Amino acid sequence: MIRIAPESLGSARFLKEYGVKYAYLAGAMYKGIASKELVVALGKAGLLGYLGTGGMNRSEVEASIRYIQRELDRGQGYGLNLLCNLDRPELEEEVVDLCLKYGVRFVEAAAFIQLTPSVVRYRLHGIRRNDRGEVVVPNRVLAKVSRPEVARVFMEPAPAAIVDQLVAAGQLTPEEARLGRTVPVAHEICVEADSGGHTDQGVAYALMPAIFGLRDEVQGRFSYDKPILVGAAGGIGSPHAAAAAFAMGADFVLTGSINQCTVEAGTSDSAKDLLQGVGVNDTAYAPAGDMFELGAKVQVVKRGVFFPARANKLYELYQRHSSLDEIDRETRHQLESKYFQRSFEDVWQETRAYYMRSNPDRIADIDQNHRKKMLLVFRWYFVHSTRLAVQGIQEQRVNYQIQCGPAMGAFNLWVKGTDLESWRNRRVADIAQRLMHGAAEVLQTNLSGMVARSRADASRGVVQ
């Protein structure tokens, strides 16, 4: 009888270097939906999760780190999300500053389309040789990628131009720069297939092999001392999905959508009630608020809300008009009364006040650019819709933006009729354990069946 234990799934090196029980991670969800409580619960269970720092200010992130370190007082693992922000790179730098200040060893780099100095600074800070002459890299970067060209950037050593810039600024030492040429920017690449939130709608069965091939090519070219590990994310909400990832050769899996429908998730009970009822076909694609003008997409819940339809309507209006004044009276009334529930002018004044606080140098340009003003008024709806869901404003439930993929529906089907059917019984560490045990059982059953059939064929003299 073939026995497969959940601890045997994935990479043994991953288990050792991440200090976890299973080859399983819980990914970050922005605005603290992947909360400090969620991260602590995983750490206490011998697992690792990433705090969702996107949309949190510096003081909130710092307070969360202190809370996590206070609760995980036995040195259990945890990580932080580092979200790409090309418009405001100082936000990336703030997170890196805090990571280095508090000795955060694990970072999930997400939404990057190009490498930035903040990632390189974090990765190479403190790199050194030990007494045995081995290169020690204290800071681990896990890069979430959905395109091979982005994966390549993280698999290769940091570009010399960025490293030299950091040395000149006194943010890296010459020795750190020299040793940095011997290691990849990220030793862990997480391949993100179609998922909740920002998505390129990638297909795991096509994307994973492409990244495996790229990994082998880069590894052969640079001959790293430790091979790059490749994990899987996107669509993992049931034991069968996790088993499929490991069967393809994933070194680890990373879950997302399913964790926001747990007790520890930092979103509202109202949002969790909606998520608990989601099926595999109850999500849709909508414009991404932070990359609205580029046409980037996020995957969100469509059941019980109007957000996807309304978000796509805003994008269509943005494509057709050059200013808010061009929008006809009837459409304007619809947007102000149903979408925004306030006037364009009120939205603009709130947005302008935000920029006066955060980026006053841009105000003069925005005031003179009618299309830019329209863009920012429309973007406000995306921030507002997320806030409504996180805070659980029931009277505006139809405007909730809840980023989620079909994995949530798969999970709900899997736990239907069990104690986990109600989200109030869903604990993030318990879900991890059940998912990994279930994946091991699926693989064991399937492999046992294949071995039995192979032996039966052999006994009958069937040519293999």
pLDDT for 87: 77
Q: Write the CB contacts of 126 (distance below 8 Å, at least 6 apart in sequence).
A: 138, 139, 176
Class of domain 6-255: alpha beta
Give the Cα separation of 408 and 451 in Å (integer).
33
Average pLDDT over residues 351-380: 88
Residue 350: what pLDDT? 94
Q: Do 8 and 414 meet the contact criterion of CB atoms below 8 Å apart?
A: no
Taking 60 as the threshold, does the pLDDT of residue 249 lie above it?
yes
Query: Strands 24-26 and 79-83: what pairing?
Result: unpaired
What average pLDDT score do residues 360-379 get? 89
Cα separation, 194 vs 197, in Å, equals 9
- Give the C-alpha separation, 375 to 278, whole Å: 31
Question: Across all residues in the chain, what is the average pLDDT?
Answer: 95
For the chain, the domains span 6-255, 272-406
Q: What is the mean pLDDT of residues 207-215?
A: 97
Contact 301, 261 (CB under 8 A): no
Q: Quick one: pLDDT at residue 463?
A: 55
Q: What is the pLDDT of residues 425-464, one digit of tens each?
A: 999 999 999 999 999 999 999 988 888 888 888 777 765 5
348 band by pLDDT with thresholds 50, 70 and 90: very high
Does residue 199 surpass a pLDDT of 90? Answer: no
What's the predicted TM-score (pTM) here? 0.94
Rounded CA gap, 131 and 140, in Å? 21
Q: 260: closest CA among 288, 290, 289, 299?
A: 299
pLDDT, one tens digit per residue, over 100-118 is 999 999 999 998 989 999 9
How many Cα atoms sit within 13 Å of 421 on the Cβ side? 5
264: pLDDT confidence band, cut at 50, 70 and 90? very high
pLDDT at 392 over 80: yes
Segment 349-374 shows an average pLDDT of: 87
Please report the beta strands in 234-359, taking only residues with DSSP state E, as ranges in sequence order.
253-255, 283-287, 297-301
- Rounded Cα distance, 68 and 318, in Å: 42
The pLDDT tens digits of the residues spanning 228-246 come to 999 999 999 999 999 999 9
CB 50 within 8 A of CB 28: yes
DSSP per-residue string spanning 110-141: ES-SS--HHHHHHHHTT-EE-TTS-EE---EE
Closest by CA to 201, choosing from 290, 116, 294, 299, is 299
Q: Dump pLDDT digits (tens) for 288-327.
A: 988 888 888 999 999 999 999 999 999 999 999 999 999 9
Does residue 137 register a pLDDT over 90? yes
